[in-house]
Structure 1
């Protein structure tokens, strides 16, 4: 296993060389979520759903943005997919795996319809590029462009109708809210002067974090998820079953909320991921052999296969977390409980500040220090204060987390983090802007954080 992390490898290179850079569904929704849900009610979308049910049992669509220092890991994962399909034998015909690939070589952008490799796992790719309107032969796409991702999700769900659908982004990841003064993932991989020259700094001044970076292009932000998943939802007649991030740091409750009405299950990591990322041989092979799985069952399998793949080897015990989260529970019962809990905490300030500080200081954290494992915080705070609000949130939170895996280095990882700056950190105003981060519309948690960080 290589030691590259899907976000932090550039930081390691910087430390070693001074001056050099290395690298679903309430009624009345507005915006892309509302447009997607409203469209599902018309006859066109009923017909789309009927067509989808006549397709293969699962479509696995992967946006593999490997035009960066993860290029070799991307090639390895393509071969793992081929090996997994081969392991499944005839059952491989029950699923379709389509990969939009963009690597580090100029003109290598392509869409692959993945095939079983009779030789098993090796370094030879037997799958061939297929005709598509996104990445023509010899072309170079910007895999960090949200419009490219949306074009892919639209085309792939139209072209390969299936009974169930998984869409995932493969790349670097940064989380939900960018800390003040923090570089984008793109800027971590290029000299600052180049980033400024290309307008990268102003381009991501909205303060959201980032994922899907292309060293020769841009990177995506949270709001880019909505048009892409809305396009898929229109085509398949409902929310996608799985939205996955084979990236670092995207298992935020805010991420799950961002895709409300557009995805059923979120699969993502609270912590950094090793460069090798998910283990696609067992993931794809297991799905092919159990293609009757629903979204929750596949999400659990994705978590289990990932955790098991790092049980041995050089990456054993290092930064391994993955969870599957029920988006409907997050956006419904859990959000309502969080709003009530936030109001309780706010009303109790400043008298309860010491108890909040004590619980927050002991809470499991990951690479993003302005976020905290929400389940662990609830456990600590409820235990110390007997807060009814915390207990209610914890009950809903447990329903939301379908599957949670972690290594010995992260024993208190419970599945999802939430933006939670300490009282000594500044509150980022982006958390008030639903056009950047949809969770901002809920207000309860944000109002608490503003009051808490001012006390």
Structure 2
């Protein structure tokens, strides 16, 4: 059953307001903000652990819903999905906090919602409470935030983890997404690269291109980039005394090895999509409904379930419209311990094999599963393509190492439609003819650049 059309005007101001005591956001702790590459690595000895006392909740599930753009009605719809999901077990509200920072198209409509079960199920009315944060996140005079301003993200993450910490904590960003770089080099504007939506059979895809933002774009403000995540995550890590259990992107194109690396030490699991997401995004009805019925699920179980409910919602008989989907959950700690070292070895072997193996590498890259961002490629499919094209013993050994590490890192993945060979993660990997983007060398923007080995291979590969 397709989603109902949302009547936006009827929803404005529909929620009742409940005042909750809160602490104003404080300045970030010294030593936890960007500096040298690797600044976001967890340092337990420096944590103040402001939220060691728990709320008694099993889960806090938070969403940064940046809807001040053409996704506005979809954002309202997803709040209704959340309310309907919690209604599958209304008593679960005692064990689960679902907190949403919402900003829509109208000026002055920014709110922090505590999602409540809707006894009427999925409908057009928002019944959730509006939290009075007393200006900690939303200015008391304007009632309007710019979700593309990094300071808003940081204030919300600080406020959230000070006041709504639970045994398990999940934080996701809802909006458009454009990968690890702004824009899409190589995308032909005539193919829809500058549009937010691309029409497809059975629905629309969220699309951004040459003139687009990275993620969390605000039509009346700015945009966010990878580097903007870390100060807010540092505050959350400090307040919780440990990393977030799950960090998610309900956006297009954010499931990269590089994205997961950016979150190291500050989140344990990344849930995101390699490919474009359909306009309907995640299935919050099924996602929150499953947690409501099973509030004792652990983070690995929840992350795997997020992937499963998303995939099921777009397959034949599912509740949402769209096609050509991917979603995966990655264990960031296992990635750091096994996958990153194995990619380093592969990068070194690839560079050493040039120029003799250039034809095989080039052919493998050109045959690899790709996505909307043409300068990236699915890592698991690339090593499969390369393995069938080379007899080089060093490369074969490195390929085996990466393959084993991927199996350990990917908690769960789903794909349907065109990305038939997706394996759960992509990397920046331009074709030889595309050239090398020098931004990939800037570790202050993309932390993965500090590993150097993969970037050194790419520079050699694209210059010969």
Size of the alignment, in residue pairs?
A: 410
Corresponding residue to 1:380 among 373, 385, 395: 385
**Corresponding residue number in structure 1 for 2:111:** 110
Shift of the 314–267 alpha-carbon distance from structure 1 to 2, 3 Å rule, reads: closer
Task: Note if 1:435 corresponds to 2:444.
Answer: yes
**For the Cα contact (< 8 Å) 2:176–2:252, is it kept in 1?**
yes
Shift of the 436–35 alpha-carbon distance from structure 1 to 2, 3 Å rule, reads: closer
Give the TM-score normalised by structure 1: 0.85
CA deviation after TM superposition for structure 1 residue 30, in Å: 6.1
**Corresponding residue number in structure 1 for 2:454:** 445
Deviations 1:101-156 (A, max 9, x none): 00011110110011111111100000131111212465111011111011101101
**Corresponding residue number in structure 1 for 2:424:** 415
Corresponding residue to 2:222 among 218, 221, 227: 218
In structure 2, the gaps of 5 or more residues are 4-33, 197-209
**Corresponding residue number in structure 1 for 2:200:** none
CA distance in 1, matches of 2:456, 2:73: 44
CA distance in 1, matches of 2:289, 2:228: 30
Shift of the 73–410 alpha-carbon distance from structure 1 to 2, 3 Å rule, reads: same
Whose helix proportion is higher, 1 or 2? 1
CA deviation after TM superposition for structure 1 residue 255, in Å: 0.2
Q: How do 1:105-254 residues align onto structure 2 when only pairs under 5 Å count?
A: 105-132=106-133, 133-136=136-139, 139-178=143-182, 179-180=184-185, 188=194, 210-254=214-258
**Corresponding residue number in structure 1 for 2:56:** 55
Shift of the 32–236 alpha-carbon distance from structure 1 to 2, 3 Å rule, reads: farther
**For the Cα contact (< 8 Å) 2:271–2:303, is it kept in 1?**
yes
**Corresponding residue number in structure 2 for 1:329:** 334
**Tell me, what secondary structure is at the counterpart of 2:131?**
coil
CA distance in 2, matches of 1:369, 1:114: 38
Shift of the 439–222 alpha-carbon distance from structure 1 to 2, 3 Å rule, reads: same
CA deviation after TM superposition for structure 1 residue 288, in Å: 2.2
CA distance in 1, matches of 2:319, 2:310: 15
CA distance in 2, matches of 1:239, 1:282: 26
CA deviation after TM superposition for structure 1 residue 43, in Å: 7.2
Deviations 1:142-182 (A, max 9, x none): 01111101110110111112001000000000001344588
In structure 1, the gaps of 5 or more residues are 3-28, 191-204
Corresponding residue to 1:391 among 387, 391, 400: 400
CA deviation after TM superposition for structure 1 residue 361, in Å: 1.1
**For the Cα contact (< 8 Å) 2:187–2:374, is it kept in 1?**
no
CA deviation after TM superposition for structure 1 residue 221, in Å: 0.3
CA distance in 2, matches of 1:432, 1:208: 22
CA distance in 1, matches of 2:57, 2:131: 18
CA deviation after TM superposition for structure 1 residue 391, in Å: 1.1
CA deviation after TM superposition for structure 1 residue 90, in Å: 1.2
**Tell me, what secondary structure is at the counterpart of 1:61?**
strand
